[in-house]
Amino acid sequence: MTVFASLMLVAFMSSAVAPIEANFILGMDVQGQRLNLYEDCAEGSVTCDNMLLVAPDVGLLLQTKQAGKRLGNTPYAVKLYPAKTKHSVCNDGVTPCGFQGYTFKGEDFNGFIDPLSNELYITSNWTTDSDTFLYTENRTYLPLVSQAKLIDTMYKTSDQTLNSGYNNTRQEVRRLYGTQMADDLKLEQQAWIKQRSKDCGADVKHQPRTQAEKVCFIQQNDTREQAWFLWID
């Protein structure tokens, strides 16, 4: 998706919310996928209808969860979903009172983000399928549209750091514990790479194909580096 096409689609779906860092209010990590929530409302507004959720295909995320595995080889394309705040209503039946979270809509489903429990609810409009996903709030801004060069640079750095960390860890494991454990680490790393491809989406060579998949790789790589300390300790 080109920058022009992305911004045109944003304008069509959500009035004027541009997916830029200045409008970013919430980053959510769900099963290796990043979802970003944006808003463009006047400061101090009680409610906000001018919001935007930018995420990999949430409908595909629901199907994947229902099936217990990734469906097909379709890349996780970035999609844009109109969103707004949700409040309880005061005694007059009109005035918004307690803030409850954020609602968003896709072509085939309705969604709700509950920031109190860190949960994402998705309900299909055509079937009885529905599910709840736990998310981890993440303040690190990882754009999904309009900043492809930035993501490419971040992915390249992440990939290089991962490879360097793996090679250094394997050498240290071999030095401390011998060849057999170093070989075990290699096998475990290969299994992790395959699992990353299932979680994030990838081509047959386990390389990301879309901006959304690259962002997922960045997140998975960061987590993986932390796990290597267990091999040394």
The secondary structure of 37-98 as a DSSP string is: EEE---TT-S----EEEEEE-HHHHHHHHHHTS--TT----EEEEEEEEEEEE-TTSSSEEE
d(CA 83, CA 20): 16
d(CA 110, CA 94): 23
Opening angle at CA 221, ends 77 and 143, nearest 5: 40
Question: Considering only CA atoms, which of 222, 223, 225 is closest in space to residue 169?
Answer: 225
d(CA 193, CA 184): 14
pLDDT digits over 20-74, tens only?
A: 899 999 999 988 788 999 999 888 788 999 999 999 888 777 776 655 555 456 7
Residue 206 tokens, joined: 């386990």
pLDDT digits over 156-207, tens only?
A: 999 999 999 999 999 999 999 999 999 999 999 999 999 998 888 899 999 9
d(CA 186, CA 37): 38
Q: Is the pTM of this model over 0.85?
A: no
**3-state SS class at 100:** strand
* pLDDT on residue 14: 39
Domains of the chain: 3-137 (no CATH), 148-232 (1.20.1270)
Residues with Cβ within 8 Å of 206's Cβ and at least 6 positions away in sequence, in order, are 193, 194, 196, 197
Cα separations in angstroms, 123 against 51, 85, 109, 201, 231: 20, 18, 5, 23, 41
* pLDDT on residue 73: 63
